Amino acid sequence: MFLCQDWNKFLVTDQEMALSYEMVGDLKRSWMKKYIACLFSFYGHDSRIEHTLIARQRAGFVHEKVSVSVPRAVIFTDSDPETWNRLLAAVIPAIAAGTGEICVFLIKNQEESCPELLTSLELAGIENIFFNDRAQAGTAAGMISNSADTAIIDLCSRSPVEDIFSKSPANFQKYIRLSFEDKPRALIWTERRMAWNYEIMKWAHPDMEFTVGGPFAHEAPESFAKIGSDVHEALEQPYDLFLGDGDIFRTSRIARGFSGGMEPFWLWPEIGKSFFTVNRVYWKEIA
């Protein structure tokens, strides 16, 4: 590990993990397991850490392409709100790509525990989980900046590490920040009557600003904003998440959408397994 043993004091303990597991409960854990299974199905789990392709070209040369999984991935995220789904959507592609070491830094905004975050990471098989304040996260980032071949994902709303990685990336590091300047917004479109699980939506997207439209918008809880039934007018507004019919989603410019039964899901289209892979290519002219 790139961190010295002194950092072990920041590791989440087995007792904290066990308590979180119990606090989340069977129902919510089942949603997490379903989501993890869908993510692995979507990305595919590649056990190879290196893949070589050799091809002879008609133009008179042979090319050799070597794809290698980065040995390490690091994710920085806020501990509040507990957007476990966004965290898993960053972690699972790294696992699927065959990344050997994955570390998650939870930046504490308060003293309370983070049961959803810890439980989802445990279900995904992540063991290197650190609780830190913002200053400690910056110190860790400084150490990581001297570590070669690392993929870094920054999910923090107010990043303590962006300046370190974005200005002078070195050692073949990859850095991407996935966050929102304001509250993320979701559009739920009730084109036909169905049993949307609004309670699960609020649990899985605790900072989301929800808007419900369509003929059955009146059936949503009072805490959800309602709009009229003109879908084209609704889609003129910017949204980060769509829940509803696929035909409507395809006419929109929203980055991610899900049908009923997938209310707590999330994706980062900005990344995939390729983000956690380094490619090298060699050409040799055929004599």
pLDDT in tens, 110-160: 666 799 999 999 999 999 999 999 999 999 988 888 877 899 999 999 999
Domain encompassing residue 76: 5-179
Better pLDDT: 3 or 128: 128
pLDDT in tens, 64-79: 999 999 999 999 999 9
- The verdict on residue 264 lying in a domain is no
pLDDT at 282: 95
Q: What is the pLDDT of residue 191?
A: 82
Token pair belonging to 16: 């904290």
Whether residues 73 and 133 share a domain: the answer is yes
Q: How many folded domains does the chain comprise?
A: 2
- In this structure, what CATH number is given to the domain that contains residue 38? 3.40.50.1980
Is residue 49, in this structure, part of any structural domain at all?
Answer: yes
One-letter amino acid at 97 equals A
My answer on whether 140 and 119 are in the same domain is: yes
Mean pLDDT for the stretch of residues 50-63: 93
Task: List residues bridging with 241 in a β-sheet.
Answer: 186
**Domain boundary pick from 179, 214, 245:** 179
d(Cα 76, Cα 139) in Å, to the nearest integer? 12
- Which of 179, 207, 240 corresponds to the end of one domain? 179
CA distance linking residue 263 with residue 270, whole number of Å: 21
* pLDDT for 49: 78
Same domain for 130 and 241, yes or no, is: no
Q: What strands lie across the sheet with 174-177, from one edge to the other?
A: 128-132, 101-107, 72-78, 150-154, 174-177
